[in-house]
A and B are shown apart, each in its own frame.
Chain A
Amino acid sequence: KNEVEQSPQNLTAQEGEFITINCSYSVGISALHWLQQHPGGGIVSLFMLSSGKKKHGRLIATINIQEKHSSLHITASHPRDSAVYICAVRSGSGGSNYKLTFGKGTLLTVNP
């Protein structure tokens, strides 16, 4: 079993729909990252969070440390949101002693 599991692997939605992508992990973490990768490879860091909830525009990220689970929500989805969304967790005691583990990604396609 991978340390970081994302679901679903693929997601197709209609423009305007509410999207949820899930990330579950099995290790204790110090932080969790959500990344967005568009076709062609460019990666953008969307959120870095260690507790609670963060919001940026139509994107919302939540994390439940006790349940080892995070969700990324997209409200009023748009075709330009089509991308691969990747969850990454940082574990370790801090400083230089950390490990970064990535999920396999969720391919989101939003149709007009």
Chain B
Amino acid sequence: KAGVTQTPRYLIKTRGQQVTLSCSPISGHRSVSWYQQTPGQGLQFLFEYFSETQRNKGNFPGRFSGRQFSNSRSEMNVSTLELGDSALYLCASSLAGAHYEQYFGPGTRLTVT
């Protein structure tokens, strides 16, 4: 089976712009979770999608949003980018949620200048 893929792998954006990141889960997995990793805060949970519905959300501002499509692929969007949004964004897929083993993608490195 192919692993979790994320595109793009690297991205440079300017403050104030918006960005969309994509995650394709392992075939058959219905849950996709998104995480932000920064040197200062470490890993933080953004949100989880299951069957096209947001099932859980971490403590992030509304500028961070996401969606999941019928094929389980997921996108996350960050609007009005701030310098502090520079981070590694990871997605993970699992069969049915955080109660199951999660398989992580390689991440998207976002740099905001």
Contacts and interface: CB of A to CB of B under 8 A. Distances in A.
A41 B106 contact: yes
A25 to B, nearest CB: 14
Interface string B38-68: 0000111100101000011010000000000
Interface residues of A, number: 24
Given A98-B56, A98-B98, A100-B98, A42 B42 contact: no
Contacts of A103: 42
Contacts of B37: 41
Interface of B: 37, 42-45, 48, 50, 55-56, 58, 88, 90, 92, 98-104, 106-107, 109
B103 A45 contact: yes
A69 interface: no
A96 B98 CA distance: 9
A47 B103 CA distance: 12
Contacts of B100: 48
Interface of A: 30-31, 33, 35, 40-45, 48, 86, 88, 90, 96-105
Given A42-B107, A48-B101, A105-B42, 7 more contacts: A31-B99, A42-B106, A45-B92, A86-B43, A96-B50, A97-B56, A102-B42
Contacts of A99: 45, 58
A102 B90 contact: no
A90 B45 CA distance: 11
